[in-house]
Chain A
Amino acid sequence: MAKISLIVNGNPVNANIDPRTLLVQFLRENLRLTGTHVGCDTSQCGACVVHLDGKAVKSCTTLAVMADGHEVKTIEGLAADGGPLHPMQEAFREHHGLQCGFCTPGMIMTAVDIVRRKGNELDDHTIREELEGNICRCTGYHNIVKAIAAGARAMRGGASASQAAE
């Protein structure tokens, strides 16, 4: 067994785990944070994307022990409990950027990371290229691209995604 200490969504977590435990298993099974999903076993679909020290990683191909001493943020931690939604979450709702919702947490976590890396003004081409590691089977990406562009603009200031879209 391996002892790990990390911060998850702002809360300190200590655990004793089987060293082969994947980060996604640790989040879902030990911490019951089931918003992070597993859609494939080959690090392709991106349903499992979380932030490790602020950067997007695929938690299905990260061992939980690799997060020891680090900070993890999941979809559950993106907006404060009971507080307003994160502008990117709001943008996905406003622009119908989700249907079945299964890929959505990973999409949103990836989208926030794209903004961190590429800024708040994102053209369609950039967004489509940056979504290389996230697969959605429902939406045809059309509304996801719109949502990310609007969410990125809304993240700049206090403006909500719906205002940014207009």
Chain B
Amino acid sequence: MSATGIGASVRRKEDRRFITGAGHYTDDINRPGQVFAYFIRSPHAHAAIKSIDSKSAAAMPGVLAVLTGTELAADKIGNLICGWMIHSKDGTPMKMAAHPALASGKACHVGDAIAVVVAETLAQARDAAEKVKVDYTVLAAVADPVAAQKPGAPQIHDVAANNTIYQWHLGDAKAVDAAFKTAKHVTKLDIVNNRLVPNAIEPRAAIGDYDSGTGTFTLWNTTQNPHVARLVIAAFVGMAPEHKLRVIAPDVGGGFGSKIFIYPEEVVALWASKRVGRPVKWVCDRSEAFLSDAHGRDHVTHAEMAFDAGGKIVGLRAKTIANLGAYMSTFSSSIPTYLYATLLSGQYEIPQIYCEVDAVYTNTVPVDAYRGAGRPEATFVVERLVEVGAREMGQDPAELRRKNFVQKFPHQTPVILMYDAGDYNASLKKAMELADYKGFAKRKRESARHGKLRGIGISTYIEACGLAPSQAAGSLGAGVGLWESAEVRVNPTGSVEILTGSHSHGQGHETTFAQLVSERLGIPIENVSIVHGDTDKVQFGMGTYGSRSGAVGMSAIVKALDKVEAKAKKVAAHLLEAAEADIEFKDGKFSVAGTDKSAAWADVTLNAYVAHKFSGQELEPGLKEGAFYDPTNFTFPAGCHICEVEVDTETGSTEIVAWTAVDDFGVVINPMIVEGQVHGGIAQGVGQALCEGAVYSKDGQLMNGSFMDYSMPRANLLPTLKVATTMTKCPSNPLGIKGCGEAGAIAAPAAVINAITDAIGTEQLAMPATPSAVWSSLQKSYKLPHAA
């Protein structure tokens, strides 16, 4: 292993600009003549818009325009779309309601954009917004997904009777019923997967800039996938033809899924720019982000797991109601279906699984992918069922898991996926050793002496990452392909630019992708730059989400590098006057087999461009190759997280006293970066388990819409984390990578809740396990939300 190659903890190339304040985030960019947009948002969860009076606002100083859904419709700006078709079990397509960028006729959630003021300064836009009079007729609203389906609930969209978007299912219901009949023990749980607000620390932002001379639009945008944004805004919103729209995602300050989606504000910034003839900038406030960034999770589930007399799982069934909010966000339909139910087999051999999912509209902010996206929800269901099952049957939870682990690969689950490789015993064993599982009883007694209840919780999770074989995704309803692209541009002097369709918003691609190239071509890592996030530079790409940049994005680079090497060998053959078949390439040097003749990388690259040693008719000059890589399967990162807690019986507060994570991510490019991803994921999972959760009043007001009220994980919530890996190589891509970005967020919630419930001796506890919730549970006065 070289100092900068695969497997080295290379310090990040991108860090210098971030630690010196020289990064370029969207809000750091200013265009000549730029003006500012401020959105007027509905204060009501559900209201008819009778009229909008903007006369006095339009007359305010500095105001260029006040625009509403009426002008949007007049300019034929199309609706936002959901790009994944789900069919109900009766065969009918999902009920997608219109989602205009500015509300038309009625507002469907608090924060729904009603109008936009464009002014010379942000202060002038804000001042004028206060003068816009919107006359609303307030309608009855519903925020709770279970209540939304009940007869008599307020109807949000005409297309969706009972606010139901689809009633989907997966698996064989009859076979599961039969399996349950044979069971010795059935564990039943009511589970709420709490609604989370992603809260990347950089708020969303957009600058729309229309060039009337060329008819071209440019959008600077906080997006995880600029090409998909361009495709949707061109093809569906109809803002401009695809070749007349450039989308640039500069430095992006975290995404966690929330910056995948195409949002109203970027559409409006582009459209308003053409309307007023000036570049239009919009930057989200944090409180505005709470009301307009897509939220995550929000499932209500009843789940049952059946065991035989020996403790083997014979079946699992689940019924989930998924809250998708007021409109269907870009990929919302796929999250509670193909990214959720397909993972209900966990790490276990479960012969029969059946899952029903109803997706519903409510008068809340739209819900879509948030770190893990469906897989944390599935893992929570499976890992709570196994844990509670073990407790009910008086078995050791670790032993019960081991007994049910998938042992042979490939393994076909009853819910579509085929696991390609893994060793679940290995990660469990290593985690138990690192966590000193055997010593727990002694530590528990020690805690008891200090008046604390100690608990331990295991979570053996699996995820499907590396999204995904395009053909398979298409057959499940995906509206896009899920390959990735790469272009390798070798310069005459031998330095290399890698153009990738992946996008980095904290993941460190500028370092890890360069490590791959450095190792493969034997050139210093400094001589490699990674270009991403600009549709004018990178031809097309699918962006970054679903832990796919390594497994899919880097595989595309490998494919392009293969072509570069093949071409370079031809050039080297001419340069060295040898047969192409005799050219070997190693450590940055081309040599003729069996001789001492060789040429350095930079000699060959220069010769590729000066083209003096070969005929241009025989071999094209230049050295630039591209590739599209389509995965052959999902990847299946898996592992074991063990959480140990102490609960204060007087206050109900939980302290995480130890955390052990052992993950199998396949081949690791940069262990330092991978560990960082695990740390961050765990923090988000612990946040979900202990403190986070969007709270809506019954009439649809978000009760905790700022960092003052919504409890974000802070440094003192978390312990020092013990992080390790095991390794089975992923057979489904050339590098053997599985992906690591979401593991922590997927594994953590179940580990925490399993630990707390172990400590307090009751399963009557939902997330977030706040001190108040834990204390009530200890007093036996806790009521589980949505208990059947």
Contacts and interface: CB of A to CB of B under 8 A. Distances in A.
Contact of B676 (A36, A44, A89, A96): A96
Interface string B710-736: 001111101011000000000000000
Contacts of A36: 21
Interface in B654-694: 672-673, 675-676, 679-684
Query: Chain B at the A interface: mostly helix, strand, loop or mixed?
Result: loop
Contact of B19 (A93, A124, A139): A93
Contact of A42 (B12, B202, B286): B286
Given A42-B708, A100-B200, A138-B201, 18 more contacts: A18-B123, A33-B21, A37-B25, A37-B202, A39-B286, A41-B706, A85-B19, A85-B20, A92-B19, A99-B254, A99-B508, A99-B676, A100-B202, A131-B716, A136-B201, A142-B679, A144-B715, A145-B715
Interface string A9-45: 0000000001010000000100001111111111011
Nearest to B198: A137
Nearest to B9: A96
B708 A39 contact: no
B277 interface: no
A132 B715 contact: yes
B253 A93 contact: no
A20, A37, A99, most chain B CB atoms within 10 A: A99
B25 A124 contact: no
Interface in A118-161: 124, 127-129, 131-132, 134-145
Contacts of A38: 27, 203, 283
A65 interface: no
Contact of A103 (B201, B252, B505, B673): B201
Interchain residue pairs A-B with the least CB separation, the first 7? A35-B21, A101-B18, A102-B253, A100-B506, A140-B683, A140-B679, A44-B707
A79 interface: yes
A59 interface: no
A140 B707 contact: no
B706 A40 contact: yes
A100 B715 contact: no
A127 B720 CA distance: 12
A33, A39, A47, A93, most chain B CB atoms within 10 A: A39
Interface string B1-36: 000000000011011111111111101100000000
A53 interface: no
B505 A94 contact: no
B104 interface: no
Given A34-B28, A139-B680, A98 B18 contact: yes
B680 A135 contact: no
A40 B286 CA distance: 5
Interface in A39-92: 39-42, 44-45, 47, 74-76, 78-79, 85, 89, 92
A38, A108, A127, A138, most chain B CB atoms within 10 A: A138
Contacts of B15: 92-93, 98, 101
A102 B14 CA distance: 13
A41 B286 contact: yes
B707 A138 contact: no
B202 A96 contact: no
Nearest to A18: B123
Interface in B709-765: 712-716, 718, 720-721, 744
27 contacts: A20-B123, A37-B202, A38-B27, A39-B202, A40-B707, A41-B286, A44-B708, A75-B19, A96-B12, A96-B672, A98-B18, A99-B506, A99-B676, A99-B680, A100-B200, A101-B253, A102-B202, A102-B253, A128-B715, A129-B715, A137-B680, A140-B679, A140-B721, A141-B715, A142-B720, A143-B676, A145-B720
A142 B682 CA distance: 10
B714 A132 contact: yes
A75 B21 CA distance: 6
A91 B516 CA distance: 25
Contacts of A138: 201, 254, 506, 676, 680
B649 interface: no
B641 to A, nearest CB: 13
Contacts of A141: 679, 683, 714-715, 718
Interface residues of B, number: 57
A45 B202 CA distance: 10
Interface string B195-209: 000011111000000
A45 B720 CA distance: 21
A20, A37, A76, most chain B CB atoms within 10 A: A37
A131 B283 CA distance: 26
A106 B684 CA distance: 20
B19 A98 contact: yes
Nearest to A35: B21
B25 A102 contact: yes
A132 B254 CA distance: 20
A137 B286 contact: no
Contacts of A92: 15, 19
B287 interface: yes
Query: Chain A at the B interface: mostly helix, strand, loop or mixed?
Result: loop
B18, B19, B285, most chain A CB atoms within 10 A: B19
Interface in B212-271: 251-254, 256
B714 A45 contact: no
B507 interface: yes
A35 B25 contact: no
Contacts of B199: 137
A78 B21 CA distance: 10
B706 A42 contact: yes
A33 to B, nearest CB: 7
A139 B679 contact: yes
Given A98-B15, A145-B720, A135 B712 contact: yes
Contacts of B12: 93, 96
Contacts of B203: 38-39
A140 B682 contact: yes
B212 to A, nearest CB: 26
Nearest to B202: A102
A131 B718 CA distance: 12
Contact of B707 (A42, A96, A100, A124): A42
B201 A35 contact: no
B479 to A, nearest CB: 28
Contacts of A35: 20-23
B716 A132 contact: yes
A80 B649 CA distance: 52
A83 B251 CA distance: 24
Interface string B485-511: 000000000000000000001111000
Contacts of A28: 27-28
A28 B682 CA distance: 33
A122 to B, nearest CB: 12
A134 B254 CA distance: 16
Contact of B715 (A20, A41, A45, A131): A131
B21, B22, B199, B285, most chain A CB atoms within 10 A: B21
A135 B706 CA distance: 13
A85 B713 CA distance: 30
Contacts of A134: 715
A127 to B, nearest CB: 7
Contacts of A34: 21, 24-25, 27-28
A100 B503 CA distance: 12
Nearest to A129: B716
A137 B22 contact: no
A85 B680 CA distance: 26
A38 B675 CA distance: 27
A45 B286 CA distance: 10
A85 B22 CA distance: 13
Contact of B721 (A39, A101, A142): A142
Contacts of B721: 140, 142
Contacts of A105: 18-19, 21
Given A36-B21, A39-B203, A100 B254 contact: yes
B21 A74 contact: yes
A32 B424 CA distance: 52
B716 A137 contact: no
